[in-house]
Structure 1
Amino acid sequence: MKILLAGLCGAVVTLAGSGTASAAARAAGPTFQLPFPCGETWAGSSNSYAHTGSEIDFNWGAGDADLGKTVVAAAAGTVVTAAYQTSNGYGNLVKIRHSDGSTTLYAHLNSLSVSSGASVAQGQKIGTVGKSSAKYSIVSHLHYEQRSPSGAIVRASFNGSTFNYPNQSVTSRNCGGGTAPTTTTQPAPSGSNPYSATQVCGPGYKQIDSAPLGSQGRVVLMYSSATGQNCVTTLRASGSGKVNASAYLEVQGKARQTDSGSYQYYAGPVRAKAAATCVKWGGSIGSAKYDSPFGHCG
């Protein structure tokens, strides 16, 4: 059985307004953005037979062209689920709860970049597009849902306007304007990076090493004793514009995992279990680069 996704060739159109009532209902909640990096255009469809009406399957290209593409948080919030699901068919799922109690779901992911309990910013990478599912045989795509505080699936909105069901191509305006929930009331200095390594990797991670990248920033190695995972993130000193940045983690005897791209504040997080195993880690910002030897073998 293979699910065929419809509506993948629609032209980019201007999003229609959702009406006064729905706009008022959303006023107290976050302004959701497309769950993909700024400037990317994705085709969405609600036509799958497995949908109840308001879910959206997003595709960037035909077949498995989407596999491994970055998925980001549609709004700031707290991760309540980051795990593989079986009977419901979601596969690798991230579920984020937002400030008004609403939630967003990102399903069939190829990989997860966040853990349960982590605070995430709007536009922060949370995983990659995939086709994981224990229930369905599917082509690579992102299954996306917006849910009300009661848990009901609602018609999705992006950048303040309702998705034009059943099919629409949408260009992302998820350009890093949101901030992650924080326990401090002190604002970040103007131009400085508002994110810490703990915010990026999530609660429970403690810093065990770091290395400077000139005046550009630093790369940080974290560890969670609860999960046995290491986490690496590269943090810029300033958030002025975007630069090429990367973060990597290599567990001895296994393939290196890397996150790289054009980022405003940080690269990563990159996570891997490495209990009683040596790790090599590092990252870069522009031309500044750090590569560790294998170490931290406990």
Structure 2
Amino acid sequence: MKLGGAMAAGLALLLGLVATPAAADPVPGSDQAQILATNFQLPFPCGQSWTGNSDASSAHTSYEIDFNRGGTPDADLGDTVVAAAAGTVAISAHQGSTNGFGNLVKIDHGGGWTTYYAHLNSRLVSQGQAVSQGQAIGTVGNTSKPGNNILPHLHYEVRLGSNYPANVQRAVFDGTTFGYPEQTVTSRNCGGAATNPYSPQEVCGAGYSVVDSAALGSDGTVYLLYNSGNGNNCVATMKAKSLGTATATSAYLEVEGSARRTDSGDFGYYAGPVVASGSGKCVKWGGKAGASAYNSPFEHCGS
């Protein structure tokens, strides 16, 4: 997903990274406010796909989500749960008869934002502990209050303030509001590691294979891809630094005899795809990330 400059500015403001707003604040509670105010990721390891739902059961009064994957009732039991964002553990305890949460981890993210991870089989963090985004905090389980027999799943909530249940907010993962009432989501929670969660093949789409690439210093890599099925070339610039933060990134493709096509802006993960038909023609291609750029000559004339 690309993050535009306006989105990044709002995110930085609400996370306390800048002192003054670049534009008017969004309407409280709106989708825009949710996206700008959070940098939450799916509470599961990078690359895993989980199906969440917010049905009308007695456990759900607002935008809570239950997550599962696998085709059997116990398929998720013991799977790793990770922090959706960095923060401090406010609760790590079994709730006993207090509520139906069972083993609960609650993380305080500052600014009134908290996340809840309930029914855990095990807890891997302690109250007062600082945690990073993507850090393992527990495992999926089916713990609850006495007499409440449930199937393994993760009950996940995002809250703002303390006026329950009005404080339960719509969940946002990787800058996109969860598709209530049910959606399957792939985790981009990669623990802050300097690895881009996307690949050039994902950016360009099915049928494309990498023909060439050029390093942009340590800032990223620009790729040239070709689809033999339709004769199209594709260029994508993949960032390696400031992942998830909108920074200047560009990609271009010029087929000999045709005008150059460019995708340029402030993006979080990549620039592109830039696609053009070039079967049997020479192409120029290149891109920029950070302070590094690459510009090819006309080449790959047989692709």
Using the size of structure 2 for normalisation, the TM-score is 0.50
SS in 1 for 2:110: coil
- CA distance 1:173–1:43, shift in 2 (3 Å): same
Aligned twin of 2:114? 103
Taking the TM superposition and a 5 Å limit, the aligned residue runs for 1:161-180 are 161-177=176-192
Partner of residue 69, structure 2: 60
In structure 2, the partner of 1:149 is: 161
Cross-structure match for 1:84: 94
Contact 2:104 2:117 in 1 (8 A): yes
- Amino acid across the alignment from 2:42: L
* 1:72 maps to amino acid: V
Q: What is the alpha-carbon distance in structure 1 between the residues aligned to residue 179 and residue 36 of structure 2?
A: 22
Aligned partners of 2:184 and 2:32: how far apart in 1? 25
Aligned residue in 1 for 2:53: 45
Take 2:74 and 2:67, find their aligned partners in 1: how far apart are those partners? 12
Counterparts of 2:38 and 2:178 in 1: how far apart (Å)? 16
AA paired with 1:57? D
Runs in 1 of length 4+ with deviation above 6 angstroms? none
Q: Which runs of 5+ in 1 are unaligned?
A: 1-16, 179-190, 192-298
In 2, Cα distance between the equivalents of 1:42 and 1:58?
Answer: 6
**Which residue in 2 is equivalent to 1:8?**
none
Q: Distance in 1 between matches of 2:176 and 2:162?
A: 21
Distance apart, 1:161 and its partner CA:
1.1
Matches of 1:94 and 1:50 in 2, distance apart? Answer: 17
Check conservation: 2:95, 2:104, Cα contact below 8 A: yes
Q: How does 1:223-262 map to 2 (within 5 A)?
A: none
1:223 is aligned to: none
Q: Deviations over 1:54-95 (max 9, x none)?
A: 100000123011000000000000000000002211000000
Judge conservation of contact 2:90–2:128 (CA < 8 Å) in 1: yes
2:127 aligns with: 116
Aligned match of 2:279: none
Bigger CA drift: 153-162 or 66-75? 153-162
Q: CA deviation at 1:26?
A: 3.8
Q: 8 Å contact 1:91–1:107 — kept in the other structure?
A: yes
Query: Identity of counterpart residues, as a percentage?
Result: 60
Equivalent of 2:149 in 133, 137, 153: 137
CA distances 1:225-273 after superposition (whole Å, capped 9, x unpaired)? xxxxxxxxxxxxxxxxxxxxxxxxxxxxxxxxxxxxxxxxxxxxxxxxx
Query: TM-score when scaled to structure 1?
Result: 0.51
In structure 2, the residue corresponding to 1:66 is in which secondary structure? coil
- Say which one has the larger Rg: 2
Q: Deviations over 1:145-186 (max 9, x none)?
A: 0001345111111111111111111000001128xxxxxxxx
Aligned pairs for 1:216-227 (under 5 A) are none
Q: Give the Cα–Cα distance (whole angstroms) in 2 for the partners of residues 140 and 23 of structure 1.
A: 30
RMSD across aligned positions (CA): 2.1
Shift of 1:24: 4.4
Report the CA distance shift for 1:162/1:63 in structure 2 as closer, same or farther (over 3 A).
same
SS in 1 for 2:89: strand
1:33 and 1:159 in contact (8 A); partners too = yes
Alpha-carbon deviations, 1:85-106, whole Å to 9, x = none? Answer: 0221100000000032200000
Equivalent residue number for residue 269 of structure 2: none
Residue 98 of structure 1 aligns to a residue in which SS? strand
Q: Which amino acid aligns with 1:67?
A: L
Whether the aligned pair in 2 keeps the contact of 1:29 and 1:100 (CA below 8 Å) is: no
